[in-house]
Amino acid sequence: MLCIPCPWCGARDVAEFHCGGEAHIARPADADRIGDEIWAEYLFMRANPKGLHHERWQHRQGCRRWFHVARDTQSDRILAVYRIGDAPPEGDPS
């Protein structure tokens, strides 16, 4: 059971949050010129790593704000929390 430290509200139960999936996926530029493979990569392909994962969460039943979480998907340990627009913490936060 995750206890997620919302950057604005503090540590809360996972049941209050909505998981928005993998973070830092950039929408391709030149949308009218790129091929199907690049769209498939953007829309569907995911890193799905066993280990460090950067993801988006929304505190849906709290402040309703979006933020980033760096989490180890093997241990479920939350390694860092950072705001939307920020780059992931340098290096491996574990």
- Shortest distance (Å) from residue 90 CB to other proteins: 22
- Shortest distance (Å) from residue 50 CB to other proteins: 5
Residue 75 engages other proteins in binding (rule: CB under 8 A): yes
* String marking each residue 32-61 x if it binds other proteins according to CB under 8 A: ----xx-xxx-xxxxxxxx--x-x------
Residue 11 engages other proteins in binding (rule: CB under 8 A): no
Angle at 15 between CA 14 and CA 19, to 5 degrees: 65
Element (H, E) at 37: helix 36-43
The position carrying tokens 């091929």 is 35
The position carrying tokens 């066993």 is 50
* Residue pair 86/66 in contact by the 8 Å Cβ criterion: no
Q: Which residues of the shown chain bind other proteins in the complex (CB under 8 A)?
A: 1-2, 13-15, 18-19, 21-22, 36-37, 39-41, 43-50, 53, 55, 71, 73-76
